[in-house]
A and B are shown apart, each in its own frame.
Chain A
Amino acid sequence: MSEHEYVPKSKAGKWFNDRLPLLTLGAHLTDYPTPKNLNYWWTFGGILTFCLITQIVTGIVLAMHYVAHADLAFASVEHIMRDVNYGWLIRYIHSNGASMFFLAVYIHIFRSLFYGSYKSPREVIWIIGLMIYLLMMAAAFMGYVLPWGQMSFWGATVITNLFSAIPLVGDSITTWLWGAYSVDNPTLNRFFSLHYLIPFLILGLVVLHIWALHVPGNNNPVGIDIKKPSKDTVPFHPYITIKDAFALLVFMIIFAGFVFFTPNVLGHSDNYIPANPLVTPAHIVPEWYLLPFYAILRSVPDKLGGVILMFSAIFILFVLPWLDTSKVRSAVFRPIYRQFFWILVIDVLMLGYVGAMPAEGIYLVLARVGTIYYFLHFIVVMPVVGYLEKTDPIPMSISEPVLTGGAEPSLARKVNDKV
């Protein structure tokens, strides 16, 4: 909260604010002191909020026309595409919106990794963010099942069967998830219910995510602690709102490009074939945003081992703040870690690529190398590099490099000094 106590100007505003201090909250959000050096990688929080609201609004509209029944679902989606006024537009925004949501969240996560935003005192923001990411994957998976095409059906079959790898109780859990002895109408029905629920859980977590952010305040590209408010900060409005709005417009142009020109390029044509429990498509692939994890799953020749490794790939991120031993946040001042960061980016992109390819020959080798590096990066590279690395001098304040034309060693603190 701001240092000064906010007092509404109007009498009515004061009356209301005394009873429910919403106007104080509004003033806090407007004046919120923000580091003045935030670059465009920091605009994805706002973009993600836009994505969430877009998915909720288009989703509510689609639910007015969609029928969650195994015999009717496929036809009702075609009905939306052909008969409902602007149904094609709303559905294409919703289906491409999921992809844009993940595109933005991956940039958001890698920004945090580069600038060390997950480190003390922002661990809780990071963990809430990962919970949002997990819920996003659950929502996206269940949403993909709803059109009840071939990819929907077999994607649901493969993913729910992951739980059958659990020793002893695996089969009972899988049957419980299905509500039948295979993926069937009860499965579709409950997936629809949960698909509608999850975005609102995400919305709740987003509030916590922002709340937790507003306690320590934003990290920044230099990664140093700043005094708030000071000459290193600007008020959120209008400085950050206008920057976020500009980035959002550019993002929406790309979004619209997908929706209007290549609405199906990120989907799979097999999903325009109605679900058939007797025939598995020759080449099952998940949506692009899950491919790196799919590659990890397939890189292990053992069923339970593959499932454990795939889930570990996500859950290892939760302990990241404690695996990173470096006190310096921003990779700008970490010459060694910076290189490993880019190796990780390439590694994840490569895993995504081989996840889309058949699990054989060179692709299997690449998937295994990629999986090994992925885990080495977090378990070995992060603790060891943070310990051994000689970091570059970091500036005293955000203004300093600007005013002196660079981080002069004479003006800079050494890392050994307390950061």
Chain B
Amino acid sequence: MSKVEKKVNRRDFLFTASYTLGAVGVGAVLWPMIDQMNPDKAQQALATTEVDISSIEPGKSITVLWRGKPIFIKKRTSEEIAEARAVRLDDLPDPQKDEDRVKAGKDEWLVMLGVCTHLGCVPLKDKGDFNGWFCPCHGSHYDVSGRIRKGPAPTNMEIPKFEFVDSNTIKIG
């Protein structure tokens, strides 16, 4: 009897084929149910924003909303740029040169996502131990380049995709 059971017979094939087809069917129904929760077309349509930056004074910054998140646009003074570039990379938890966080030739413009990389709060400007931003939620300190220096945040504040349309306008996204 046991010898007969071990043989692959037609019934085994039918079982395997049915389970496989069933799994494909369940998956085909499950995926739309899961994917419907991803950002819809209306949300994706808000993907770019153009900002006029002509009125920002050196040392000042503005905050604009992009995809529901704040974007910090700061026109840095030459001292601030010098300060950011004087930092040794060894002192950074997430080493990144200041040059890599701005567009070449437009070094005064720091454009970054104003979202703490810890748990998503909006850091306060001109606060903290490093002359940059400070997140009040769980105490992360960022420097004048938006790089994490102290606290629980794992990475520097993110630089979004952006470009200069002309000298007075940038397009984010």
What is the CA–CA distance of A167 and B170 in the complex, to the nearest angstrom? 32
Complex CA–CA separation, A300 to B153 (angstroms): 11
A176 and B37 form a contact (CB under 8 A) = yes
Interface residues of A (CB under 8 A from B): 154, 157-158, 160-162, 164, 175-184, 186, 190, 277-284, 298, 300-304, 306, 358-360
Contacting residue for B63 out of A278, A306, A360, CB 8 A: A278
- Minimal beta-carbon separation of B13 from chain A (angstroms): 36
Select the residue from B38, B69, B120, B135 with max chain A CB neighbours within 10 A.
B120
Residue pair B38, A158 in contact (C-beta under 8 Å): no
Task: Specify the chain A residue showing the minimal Cβ separation from B121.
Answer: A280
Interface locus among B15-23, B76-84, B98-106, B136-144: B136-144
**With A176-B37, A182-B67, A186-B40 known to touch, is A359 a contact of B122 (CB < 8 Å)?**
no
The chain A residue sitting closest to B39, CB to CB, is A180
How near does chain B come to A87, taking the closest CB pair, in angstroms?
A: 30
* Contact of B54 with A by CB under 8 A: no
What are 19 inter-chain pairs, A to B, with CB distance below 8 A?
A: A158-B137, A164-B120, A175-B38, A175-B39, A179-B38, A180-B39, A180-B43, A180-B67, A180-B68, A181-B39, A182-B67, A182-B69, A277-B68, A278-B63, A278-B70, A280-B122, A282-B136, A301-B151, A359-B138
B residues within 8 Å of A by Cβ? 34, 37-40, 43, 63, 65, 67-70, 118-122, 135-139, 151-154
Q: In the complex, A165→B153 CA distance in Å?
A: 10
What's the minimum C-beta distance from A403 to chain B, rounded to whole angstroms?
59
A179 pairs with B68, CB closer than 8 A: no
Q: Complex formed: what's the CA distance from A175 to B69 in Å?
A: 13
Q: Which B residues are in CB contact (< 8 Å) with A164?
A: 119-120
**A181, A281, A282: the one within 8 Å of B68 (CB):** A181
A180 proximity list for chain B (CB < 8 A):
39, 43, 67-68
Say whether A359 contacts B139, CB under 8 Å: yes
Q: How far is the CA of A388 from the CA of B37 in the complex (A)?
A: 52
Residues of B near A301 (CB, < 8 A) are 151-152
Determine the chain B residues whose CB is within 8 A of the CB of A284 once the complex forms.
121, 136-137
Q: In the complex, what residues of A have CB within 8 A of residue B135's CB?
A: 280
For B70, what are the chain A residues with a Cβ–Cβ distance below 8 Å? 277-278
Check A157 against B43 for contact (C-beta < 8 Å): no
Contact yes or no, B38 A176, CB < 8 A: yes
Q: How long is the Cα–Cα vector from A190 to B37 in the complex, in angstroms? A: 9
* Residues in B whose Cβ lies below 8 Å from that of A162: 119
Q: Which of A175, A277, A359 contacts B65 (CB 8 A)?
A: A277
- With A and B bound together, what is the CA distance between A217 and B121 in angstroms? 49
Contacts A176-B38, A182-B69, A359-B139 aside, 12 further interface pairs with beta carbons under 8 A come to A157-B121, A161-B119, A175-B38, A176-B37, A180-B43, A180-B67, A186-B40, A278-B70, A279-B122, A303-B152, A303-B153, A306-B152
Docked Cα-Cα span, A182 to B121, in Å, equals 11
The answer on a CB contact under 8 Å between A302 and B43 is no
Contact (Cβ within 8 A) B152 A302: yes
B68, A184: Cβ atoms under 8 Å? yes
Assess the B154–A158 pair: CB atoms within 8 A: no
Q: Bound complex: CA of A180 vs CA of B151, how far in Å?
A: 27
Q: Chain A residues with Cβ under 8 A from B43's Cβ?
A: 179-181, 184, 186
Q: Which of A178, A279, A283, A303 contacts B154 (CB 8 A)?
A: A303
Q: Which residue of B lies closest to A298 (CB)?
A: B138
With A158-B119, A175-B39, A303-B118 known as contacts, the answer to whether A277 contacts B137 (CB < 8 A) is no
How far is A207 from B68 in the complex, measured between Cα atoms in Å? 42
Distance between A71 CB and nearest chain B CB, rounded to angstroms:
13
A178→B120 CA distance, assembly (Å): 13
User: Which chain A residues border B40 with CB–CB below 8 Å?
Assistant: 179, 186
Q: How far is the CA of A162 from the CA of B119 in the complex (A)?
A: 6
Q: List B contacts of A304 (CB < 8 A).
A: 154
Q: Contact: A186 with B39, CB < 8 Å?
A: yes
- List of B residues within 8 angstroms of A360 by Cβ: 139
Find chain B residues with CB under 8 A from A190 CB: 37
| Alpha-carbon distance A298/B118, docked complex (angstroms) | 11
Is the Cβ of B119 less than 8 Å from the Cβ of A177?
no
User: Smallest distance from the beta carbon of B20 to chain A beta carbons, Å?
Assistant: 26
Contact of A158 with B152 at beta-carbon distance under 8 Å, contacts A175-B38, A277-B68 already known:
no
* Residues B120 and A161 in contact, CB atoms below 8 Å apart: yes
- Of the candidates A160, A177, A284, A304, the one having the most CB atoms from chain B within 10 angstroms of its own CB is A284
Q: Chain B residues with Cβ under 8 A from A182's Cβ?
A: 67-69, 120
Chain B CB within 10 A, most for which of A279, A300, A360: A279
Docked Cα-Cα span, A157 to B69, in Å, equals 11
Distance in angstroms between the alpha carbons of A281 and B67 in the assembled complex? 20
A142 to chain B, nearest CB (A): 14
Whole-angstrom distance between the alpha carbons of A181 and B118 in the complex?
16
The interface residues of chain A lying within 8 Å CB-to-CB of B154 are 302-304
Chain A residues with Cβ below 8 Å from B38 are 175-176, 179
Q: Which of B119, B136, B151, B152 contacts A157 (CB 8 A)?
A: B119
* A194 to B154 alpha-carbon distance, docked (Å): 31
| Chain B residues within an 8 Å CB radius of A158 | 119-121, 137
A177 vs B37: C-alpha distance when bound (angstroms): 7
Minimum C-beta distance from B39 to chain A (A): 5
